[in-house]
Structure 1
Amino acid sequence: MSEPTPKPYLTVRGSGVHELEIKKSRFICHLARVADEEEAQAFIAGIRKQYWDARHNCTAFVVGGEHPRERSSDDGEPGGTAGVPMLEVLRRRGLTDTVAVVTRYFGGIKLGAGGLVRAYGTAVSEAVDELGLLERRPVAVLAVQTDHTRAGRLENDLRAAGHVVRDLAYAADGVRIEVGVPEAGVTEFQVWLAEATGGAAVAEPVGRDFVEVPVEA
């Protein structure tokens, strides 16, 4: 039985930091893209070490695709006022493989439960907006084998047709071009390749991977 095709998913474009001030309290949100729970916990530990003198370092993360794992922590804030609203932002945006840490330096004015919920949620939401998102789309990886005389033109034709060229490897007997193709479009790609090269190039499936496509705001 073949494995099910993975589904596309959203994550943040990279790592970044966003700060806001509310009633003299500073809320510093660090966002990062992580591969698994271990990376998320390591990132959290690093931020807590960096901001050891802060009143709170509240956290939330979502990792995994089909069956995501979620964790959050209020880190001393009243229960449900920090980690949960942070996690809710990640859920609402449909994000995974993403960790958020919001560091709070208390300014002396209490915000109340509702104020804290809004502050922590806003810190993460604004950080996501500032950093930007990308969609990771599953593709079949095909190895296209061609000769040296056709390789340059074929690479250009592949890119011009919107195909994702992942790698080129030159050898004495020819050139190997790795291409990412949506699984539903493999047959169509094979037809296109035959027409583009007069049947001189062949493509063989060699695996699966993801391509990353920025999501416009």
Structure 2
Amino acid sequence: MSDLTQATRYGVLQRDIEHEIEIKRSRFICYLSRVETETQAREFVDLIRAEHRLARHHCTAFVLGADRMVRRSNDDGEPSGTAGLPMLEALTLFTRPAGSTADLSDTIAVVVRYFGGVLLGAGGLVRAYSDSVSQALTQARFYTRQRMRLLTLPAPHAAAGRWENEIRAAGIEVLGTAYETDHAAIRLAVQDRPETVTGAQRRIAALTQGAAQATDAGVSWVDLQ
């Protein structure tokens, strides 16, 4: 992503991940979760702490927002710079499968360590915490979260299902349909660019034979497969 301040898309987790590795009898259990605010991130940390009260360390890192400017990490008692920062780097440098840039965001990693009695040294800790997060990320699947222009298309009840299928086949994202008393409202999403919106309106007009016109419903972030 060449200009994070102008980001219009980024990667997010589809579901939570738990992954464990063992190094010289120490257990490192990595939890990944999707969060959208610092409050949600800290609530997730509290949840993991409560689940692993006997663990010696609960180290954390998270990155938030389309621009990925909110970045926090915590060593939680490990030597400074040996846990939280390597975890944060593992998050921010991660490239999704088939991706061309590192763009993962809205993600928190918590690594719980149960000490096995063998000191790993600074270098060993850096590798352990970094590998714990990196290996967990390889188990994950992702959505592309993209800023989209929303459209609403009114449709007769009898035609709504057919229109949905034809619009989807034309490459327009269908978010769902709300059935009102006298009509159905098909919710659509297209890239937030004037030429894309205009093109979508033309395709919709052709598919419906001019029977209906989609109206602008604003801009929102949408999860895409």
Q: TM-score, normalised by structure 2?
A: 0.89
Alpha carbons 2:177, 2:184 under 8 Å: kept:
yes
The one-letter amino acid of 1:189's match is A
- 1:30-109 alignment runs, 5 A limit: 30-66=31-67, 68-93=69-94, 94-109=103-118
After superposition, the C-alpha distances for 1:178-198 in whole angstroms (9 at most, x for unaligned) are: 111112211000110111111
The one-letter amino acid of 1:211's match is V
- 1:155-194 alignment runs, 5 A limit: 155-184=164-193, 185-194=196-205
After superposition, the C-alpha distances for 1:64-95 in whole angstroms (9 at most, x for unaligned) are: 22362111111111110000000001110232
**Distance in 2 (alpha carbons) for counterparts of 1:192 and 1:44:** 47
Question: Partner of 1:116 in structure 2?
Answer: 125
- 1:126-205 alignment runs, 5 A limit: 126-184=135-193, 185-205=196-216
User: What SS does structure 2 have at the residue aligned with 1:87?
Assistant: helix
**Distance in 1 (alpha carbons) for counterparts of 2:144 and 2:187:** 21
**Distance in 2 (alpha carbons) for counterparts of 1:73 and 1:86:** 9
What is the deviation of 1:148?
2.8
Gaps in structure 2 of 5+ consecutive residues? 95-102
After superposition, the C-alpha distances for 1:9-54 in whole angstroms (9 at most, x for unaligned) are: 1122221200000111100001100111000000001111111111
What is the deviation of 1:6?
5.7
**Distance in 2 (alpha carbons) for counterparts of 1:49 and 1:149:** 52
Give the RMSD, CA atoms, in angstroms.
1.6
Structure 1 residue runs of 4+, over 4 Å off?
none
**Distance in 2 (alpha carbons) for counterparts of 1:169 and 1:131:** 32
Question: Partner of 2:24 in structure 1?
Answer: 23
User: What SS does structure 2 have at the residue aligned with 1:202?
Assistant: coil
Pairing partner for 2:219 from 185, 203, 208: 208
What is the deviation of 1:206?
0.7
How many residue pairs get aligned? The number is 211
User: What SS does structure 1 have at the residue aligned with 2:139?
Assistant: helix
**Distance in 2 (alpha carbons) for counterparts of 1:6 and 1:196:** 32
**Distance in 1 (alpha carbons) for counterparts of 2:41 and 2:17:** 14
User: What SS does structure 2 have at the residue aligned with 1:21?
Assistant: strand
User: What SS does structure 2 have at the residue aligned with 1:201?
Assistant: coil
Question: Partner of 2:97 in structure 1?
Answer: none
Alpha carbons 1:141, 1:178 under 8 Å: kept:
yes
Gaps in structure 1 of 5+ consecutive residues? none
The one-letter amino acid of 1:209's match is S
The verdict on how the C-alpha distance between 1:133 and 1:148 changes in structure 2, with shifts beyond 3 A counting, is closer
The one-letter amino acid of 1:88's match is E
Alpha carbons 2:58, 2:113 under 8 Å: kept:
yes
The one-letter amino acid of 2:89's match is E
User: What SS does structure 1 have at the residue aligned with 2:149?
Assistant: strand
Mean CA deviation greater in 29-38 or 64-73: 64-73
What is the deviation of 1:100?
0.5
The one-letter amino acid of 1:195's match is A
Q: TM-score, normalised by structure 1?
A: 0.92
Alpha carbons 1:7, 1:138 under 8 Å: kept:
yes
After superposition, the C-alpha distances for 1:132-173 in whole angstroms (9 at most, x for unaligned) are: 222111111100012233222111101222222112122343
Give % identity.
46
